[in-house]
Structure 1
Amino acid sequence: MRIVSLSYPINPENVLEAGVPKVAAIGQFDGLHLGHESVITTAVGIAREQGLPAALITFYPHPKDVIGKGNYEGYLTPQADKEKLLQEMGIDILYVVEFNKAFSEVSPDAFVSDMLLPLSLQTAVVGFDFRFGHKGAGDAVKLQALSEGAMSVVTVPPFLVDGEKVGSSSIRIALQTGQLADANRWLGRNYSIRGTVIHGEKRGRQIGFPTANLELTDPYVIPALGVYAVRARSDQEGGWIAGVMNVGVKPTFHEGITKPIFEVHLFDYSGDLYGQVMTVEMVQYIRKEHKFESVQELVEWIHRDAVEARRILKDME
């Protein structure tokens, strides 16, 4: 997959393959959930049928991050994670458009004439709720009209799970309220985070449960505080390792901490992970974070959590 960074307006002379006809999915696609996947697979399918490259046009940073609109906070799928998933989905060219305040004020007409048409799109594939241009004034119908026959527009209907529309906002809320099972079902995969293993207080080692403390690589959506059954792997070692993760503020030992700490205890592992980047796949939410009356009570609960996490992860095998 080729990754091409773009800024508005496009100069076709500076974009390799700009003159080559192609099929493109267009959207933010934060989350790459099942609804997004239905748009992307439609675009890839059309491209393969027509013998054309399958492209995807997305925007970075997230528009809501730039204009401060809505309840946006963090990424479900940061750019690096998105690139890996899109390659697996069969995208040939990924266009990443710089989103800034000036670009947010571009009219729908200018967006089409100065951004899309120079890329020689033969077919644009969008979701049912696709909006573009200043204040979201453009939709799929307007996109077709503004293209003046230069490209066709395919609109993909809502993707439903158990009769409910899959959307990024619902997934965010589910993660933040401890409904991990719903979030994972709508994503079509387990929610994952990535972080660099850093030195912590080493208190886990003292009580028999050494942990890998993560400093997240990107501003992910932070899930509900609590304990999770997880699988983890480092970029260097590669294989998945079962474990249990606590996302919290360590109320048994501290007061006043507001930034969540990510601590992963890996089962049956004794290697040195410091400085390595680790991906953690969140499989199941076990319980809320508690403040315990003693370290002994905390240790007893960690034992219970580990047993429960092992059981959950064994059932996945």
Structure 2
Amino acid sequence: MTPKGLPHFAAGTIIKGFGRGSKQLGIPTANFSEEVVNKLPESISTGIYFGWAKILGNIHKMVISIGWNPYYKNERKSMETHIMHKFDGNLYDNELKIGIVGYLRPEKNFETLEALIAAINEDIANADKLLDEEQYAKYKNDAFFK
């Protein structure tokens, strides 16, 4: 079942985030500005979602964390997108378009960095499988990405 408010499409320029994705987690993320985060509908609660991301003319699978990242005790809400593709260099200042099509789990805190990394890797594996299902795969061809 797709949660209320989905699919949700958003676009914006990739900004420098907290600098943790690649360095501490080994899982790089593309971050949106507060302006994009503030446009999220109230029906989309914090949590881990999955969908499609268009960057540099190509569409890739993605997982996105929406919220406060309790492990890091963020003071402002963020949208951190992990694009399931290996890029050379950084993606700052490029336009990112996303389609959030499904929900994986609520946001939660972790006892250790290792537990957080394991959960993120599980989220990525789950999203990878789910995005092959027709109900989610069809959004890769949505007019929003054209």
TMscore range, shorter length: 0.7 to 0.9
Counterpart position of 1:228: 49
Report the Cα distance in structure 1 between the residues aligned to 2:71 and 2:115, rounded to whole angstroms. Answer: 10
Which structure 1 residue ranges, 5 or more long, are not aligned? 1-178, 185-189
- Residues 1:251 and 1:226: Cα distance change in structure 2 (over 3 Å): same
Question: SS at 2:121's partner residue?
Answer: helix
Q: CA deviation at 1:239?
A: 2.1
Map of 1:251 onto structure 2: 70
Give aligned-pair identity as a percent.
Answer: 25
Contact 1:227 1:244 in 2 (8 A): yes
Larger radius of gyration: 1
Distance 1:217 1:292, change over 3 A: closer
Structure 1 residue 195 corresponds to structure 2 residue 12: yes
Secondary structure (helix, strand or coil) at the match of 1:314 reads coil
Matched, 1:267 2:89: no
Amino acid at match of 1:301: A
* Alpha-carbon distance between aligned partners in 1 of 2:22 and 2:125, rounded to the nearest angstrom: 18
Match of 2:26 in 1: 208
- What does the per-residue CA deviation read over 1:204-246, in whole Å, with 9 as the maximum and x for residues that have no partner? 1021100001111873425210001120113xx2221101000
Q: CA deviation at 1:252?
A: 0.3
Cα separation, 2, equivalents of 1:214 and 1:196: 7
Instruction: Give the number of aligned pairs.
Output: 130
Aligned CA RMSD, in angstroms, stands at: 2.0
Q: Is the 8 A contact 1:232 1:279 kept in 2?
A: yes
Relative to 1, partners in 2 of residues 1:296 and 1:221: Cα closer, same or farther, differing over 3 Å? same
Q: Is it true that 1:239 corresponds to 2:58 in the alignment?
A: yes
Name the SS for the 2:32 alignment partner.
strand
Equivalent runs, 1:1-317 vs 2, <5 Å? 180-184=2-6, 190-206=7-23, 207-215=25-33, 216=36, 219-222=39-42, 223-234=44-55, 237-254=56-73, 257=75, 259-271=76-88, 272-316=90-134, 317=137
Amino acid at match of 1:284: G
Q: CA, structure 1 residues 191+238, in 2 after alignment: closer, same or farther (shift >3 Å)? A: same
Maintained 8 Å contact 1:196/1:217: no
Aligned partner letter, 2:51: V
Distance 1:297 1:244, change over 3 A: same
Secondary structure of the corresponding residue to residue 268 of structure 1: coil
Letter in 2 for 1:268: H
Relative contact order higher in (CA < 8 Å, ≥ 6 apart): 2
Task: Summarize deviations over 1:24-60 as a string: whole Å, max 9, x none.
Answer: xxxxxxxxxxxxxxxxxxxxxxxxxxxxxxxxxxxxx
Question: Do the aligned residues in 1 keep the contact of 2:37 with 2:79 (CA within 8 Å)?
Answer: no
The structure with the greater share of residues assigned to helix is: 1
- 4+ residue stretches of structure 1 with deviation over 4 A? none
Distance between the aligned counterparts of 1:201 and 1:289, measured in 2? Answer: 18
Q: In structure 1, the residue corresponding to 2:91 is in which secondary structure?
A: coil
**Which runs of 5 or more residues in structure 2 are unaligned?**
138-146
Residue 198 of structure 1 aligns to a residue whose secondary structure is coil
TM-score (norm 1): 0.38
